[in-house]
Structure 1
Amino acid sequence: MGNIIDRLSERLGTFGEKLLEFIPDLLVIVIIIISGFIAASILRFLLIKAFSAVRFDDWSDQIGLTTAFKKAGITSPPSSFLGSFVYWFTVVLFFVAGFATLGFRVTDALVSIFFAFLPRFFTALIIVLFGFFVTKNLARGVLIAGVTAGIEYSKALSELVRVLLFVLVFAMALEELAIAPRVVLAAFGIFFGAIGIAAAVAFGIAGRDYAKRVIDYLLSKREGNDIDQL
């Protein structure tokens, strides 16, 4: 019985020593996390003020970003959404930095993966924002050109251009993030292949009467030439 008590006391003593050694590291982590919340709040405040100064929400309305946010269920203005995003991103960054101080292999690996992913994420974000701007303007240009040329389905053609460009931008962003690149590439090819086949079928059905008249005209002209030669 005494042996068991001695071993239990030894284990508890070892645990207490480890706990005392861990407390300073825990305090460092807590301080880093609290600093992260403070820094995140300051960054969000400054970012929203900067967005308000440059009329970012008005620009978002012009390129269709606000509409896309509403379709995705995001009711807050783009400036507030991006401010909240930067806030939580900064908090997560400080969390990662705090746990990295422990020096565990798992935390070191997670930190390496996190910082390796950051450039890809920001590049994908730039692709999406720039893609929204280009898509909005090209679709509007197609609509204006179609109306000017008197094309009956100018609105539908403009929406088709918008959808195709949005799919292209989305695929480019996913490829940059390296999220299932083979699946994205295959789906992208299938989508545009289906669009091409559908356009060809629609063109064939819509233009069959015109094609018949052209063929009849060419055949009649050929028969007339044969009669002249006789």
Structure 2
Amino acid sequence: MSMVVANLPVQPPPLAAMPVDVLSPTLMPLVVNLLGALAILLVGWLVAGLAARSVRSLLRRTQLDERVAHAIRDPERPGQRNLRLDRLLAALVFWVVLVLALVAALNALNLTTVSEPLNDFLSQIFSFLPQLGAAGLLAALGWMVASLARAVLLQTAQQLQLDERLFSPEEEDDSDPTAPGLLSSQTLANLLYWLILLFFLPLVLNALNLGNQLLPLLNLLNTFMAAVPLLAKAATIAVVGWLLARTVRTLVRNLLGSTGVDQLGEGMGLDPQQPGQSLSGLAGTVSYVLVLIPTAIAALEALAMPAIAGPAIAMLSTVLGALPQVFTAAAILALAVVLGQFLEQLAVRLFTGFGFDHWVQQLGLVEDGEAQASAQASDQVSEQISERGDEQAGPEIEVPAPRRPSEVVGVAVLGAVVLFGAVAAANVLNLPAITEIVSGLLLVFGRILAGVIVFAFGLAIANLAARLIVSSQTVQAGLLAQAARVAILGFSGAMALQQIGVAPSIVTLAFGLVLGSIAVAAAVAFGVGGRDVAAEQLRAWRDALRQQT
């Protein structure tokens, strides 16, 4: 029995029954550590809040957040919310300090298993802070330099009024004078701003030790940086050439305008009152293009990119080489037009002085000019009244007077001279296809003119013959006059068509068939209708022959 009692487990006394001196060595360090951890968390929370408030107050006083928000704001979206940099940085400082306090509290509780990951995380963050700070300083420095350069350029352009002097539209340009030009100081300032930021971008990336990861981007930036001098050289050449072209255009336009050359252009059909239609303005535009083409070639050569600039340079060189021929052809055409107008007026005066109009009217080739004009006017007024009614008839229509025969001759002379000038211009341009076409047209028009002249003479002869037959007052004079007129017109029409060259064999055959059929019809009509008369005449001839024998 005593053996069983000895093997029973010994029950520990309850905790409440333990004395205070036994509990103190066990609980007091735990309580002290817990209170210390809570104190550390409380102090850390207070310090975090104080640090966040200090950072936010400092940013508000320096207005750094507003400047950054203004720099990155999209001008095309005025209603977007601004970036609150003060709140973002204050929250970041608050949580960093609070995490540090949490790590300290965990260390005070000897909870290393929980605090070690946080320690590693904070160690990485704090080891990266110097790099991040250096990158931030470089980015801030680049932004300050870019902003300062843009502000200086804008202020200088505003004081010198570069936009008004360089980029204002021309007086003769058919454009809105309030519209901005292709280039402006604002555009150049923005270009300089982003170019400076692009220069600082590799420095910022290297400060963050991101060179290996962003090696393709860095290579691209290096390639672009290497091309920047070439681009700057080409842009300088283009801008200087463009300014020189504008200056030359203004000088040429003003010089020719002061000499009264626009009046000569007005005689050629140009309207100096319309924008861009004066002769001086056209000459200024030509000089502008002549300066711009070599400028474009020089700018493309400055790029040192044969794959891109080679075809463009070849094209511009071809155009520049063809310009003398083009100008020569244009001068020939202009001279042909001027000479044609002079010869037209001379021909009209000569033919009018010789009485050509009266002679043509006497031959009956045209009607009286006044009668023809009144007939056309009455026809148009009748059409207008029939369409709108008598009460709603519109204003009177001015009917142009019909051209006199001498004026028609003048127009023919003008057309012939212009065609000859077109042939010469096509030869200068070395365009054999166009030369052949214009030469063919000139030959066809010459044949048509010869045919018209032949038919006109035939018509005059037909009218003259008809008048002579009518004036003879013979029996059936009207019928004979019409028959003679139709015969002469048919003969002259056949000659005119043969002269024009419209299937001469067919025209000759058709004319012969018509004339032969008329002769056969006349013979048959005479034989059938005058059979008795013919028999009597034959008997009389027979009797006369018998008496003689």
Please indicate the TM-score interval, normalised by the length of the shorter structure: 0.7 to 0.9
Matches within 5 A, 1:47-196: 47-67=347-367, 75-110=402-437, 113=440, 120=447, 123-145=450-472, 147=473, 150-152=474-476, 154-196=477-519
Assess if the C-alpha contact under 8 Å between 2:466 and 2:484 holds in 1: yes
CA contact (8 A) 2:423 2:438 kept: yes
* Runs of 5+ consecutive residues of structure 2 not aligned to the other structure: 1-304, 377-400, 543-549
What is the CA-CA distance between 1:127 and the residue it aligns to? 2.9
Q: How has the CA–CA distance of structure 1 residues 184 and 7 changed in structure 2, closer, same or farther, with 3 Å as cutoff?
A: farther
Q: 1:63-88 CA distances to partner (integer Å, 9 max, x unpaired)?
A: 22215x98xx9943212222222222
SS at match of 2:496: helix
In the comparison of the two structures, how many residue pairs are matched? 206
| C-alpha distance in structure 1 between counterparts of 2:307 and 2:492, whole Å | 64
Distance of aligned partners of 1:9 and 1:129 in 2 relative to their CA distance in 1, 3 Å threshold = same
8 Å contact kept, 1:66–1:77: no
Identity across matched positions, percent: 25
Note the C-alpha offset of 1:129: 4.0
* C-alpha separation in 2, matches of 1:118 and 1:31: 24
- Residue 23 of structure 1 aligns to which amino acid in structure 2? L
| Cα pair distance change 1:88/1:217, threshold 3 Å | closer
| Counterpart Cα distance in 2 of 1:84 and 1:163 | 30
Report how far residue 26 of structure 1 moved: 0.9
Point out the more displaced range, 192-201 or 91-100. Answer: 192-201
In 2 relative to 1, CA 119–79 (structure 1 residues): closer, same or farther, beyond 3 Å? closer
CA radius of gyration, larger in: 2
| 1:225 aligned partner | none
> How far, CA to CA, are the matches of 2:349 and 2:488 in structure 1?
32
Could you tell me how far 1:203 is from its partner in structure 2?
4.2
Deviations 1:100-130 (A, max 9, x none): 2122332443465466667756654543343
Any idea what SS the aligned residue of 1:76 has? coil
Distance 1:64 1:28, change over 3 A: same
Q: Which amino acid aligns with 2:455?
A: V
Q: 1:203 to 1:83 in 2, by over 3 A?
A: farther
CA change 1:61–1:217 in 2 (3 A) is closer
Cα deviation per residue 1:136-178 (whole Å; 9 max; x = unaligned)? Answer: 3223233334x2xx312x1122112112212211221222232
Q: Among 526, 531, 549, which residue is 1:211 paired with?
A: 531
**Do the aligned partners of residues 90 and 103 (structure 1) sit closer, same or farther apart at CA in structure 2, a change above 3 Å counting?**
same
Distance 1:214 1:111, change over 3 A: closer
> 8 Å contact 1:63–1:133 — kept in the other structure?
yes
Structure 2 equivalent of residue 228 of structure 1: none
Q: How does 1:19-34 map to 2 (within 5 A)?
A: 19-34=319-334
Match of residue 41 from structure 1? 341
170-179 vs 33-42, which deviates more?
Answer: 170-179
Distance 1:187 1:15 in 2: 57
Give distance in 2, aligned partners of 1:108 and 1:42.
25
In structure 1, the gaps of 5 or more residues are 223-230
TM-score (normalised: structure 1): 0.73
Q: How far apart are residue 31 of structure 1 and its match?
A: 1.1
Instruction: Determine the C-alpha separation between the residues in 1 that align with 2:424 and 2:493.
Output: 31
d(CA) in 2 for partners of 1:180 and 1:107? 26
Q: Which has the higher contact order (CA 8 A, sep 6+)?
A: 1
User: Whole-Å Cα distance in 2 between the matches of residues 141 and 36 of structure 1?
Assistant: 45
Task: Assess if the C-alpha contact under 8 Å between 1:132 and 1:166 holds in 2.
Answer: yes
Aligned-pair CA distance for 1:50: 1.1
Q: Counterparts of 2:537 and 2:442 in 1: how far apart (Å)?
A: 68
More helix by share: 1
Structure 2 Cα separation of the partners of residues 118 and 214 of structure 1: 53
- Amino acid of the residue matched to residue 138 of structure 1? A
Name the stretch that deviates more: 43-52 or 179-188: 179-188
> RMSD in angstroms over aligned alpha carbons?
3.4
Secondary structure of the residue aligned to 1:46 is helix
Aligned equivalents of 1:121 and 1:218: distance in 2? 52
Give the CA deviation at 1:11: 1.9
